[in-house]
Amino acid sequence: MENNLLQDITIYHNNNNTWVRYNLKASVRNTFNKNRDNTGSNNVNRALIRIFDVKGYKSKYNIQDGDVIVSKNVNDNISSAPLTVLRANYGKDNVYSVNSVEKFVFDDLELSHIKIGAI
């Protein structure tokens, strides 16, 4: 994936009530439309985030429903209420709550990605 399409993001992953921070590169598209994911359920997302490091998923970084993403490179350590704290620090438009995570692997590995829906 072309680097000029990617931006810094920070994932705050809830690992047994401890918030683990991962700083990555991703494609972030602000959106507000109705989407259908591959499970057939409808959802409304404020952001569609694609991480192209598929090999690092579950080994270098983790993400799940309920995690928090900041669309910037930040280094805050969070102990509780990350959505509230991070929105106060970085604004509602830059902080998202993850509501879906899907892994897509294609024959052309450059197209493979982790697709994250977030509100």
31 pLDDT more than 90 = no
Can you read off the two tokens belonging to residue 65? Answer: 């429903």
pTM of the model: 0.86
80 pLDDT more than 80 = yes
Chain CA centroid to CA 70, Å: 8
Averaged pLDDT for residues 15-30: 95
pLDDT at 69 (0 to 100):
98
pLDDT at 81 (0 to 100):
84
* Residue 29, burial from CB neighbour count under 10 angstroms (0-12, 13-18, 19+): exposed
Place 3 in a pLDDT band, splitting at 50, 70 and 90: low
Can you read off the two tokens belonging to residue 14? Answer: 């809830």
* Strand (E) or helix (H) holding 18: strand 18-36
The rounded mean pLDDT for the chain is: 89
Closest among 55, 59, 62, 2 to 26, alpha carbons compared: 2
Percent of the chain with pLDDT over 90: 75
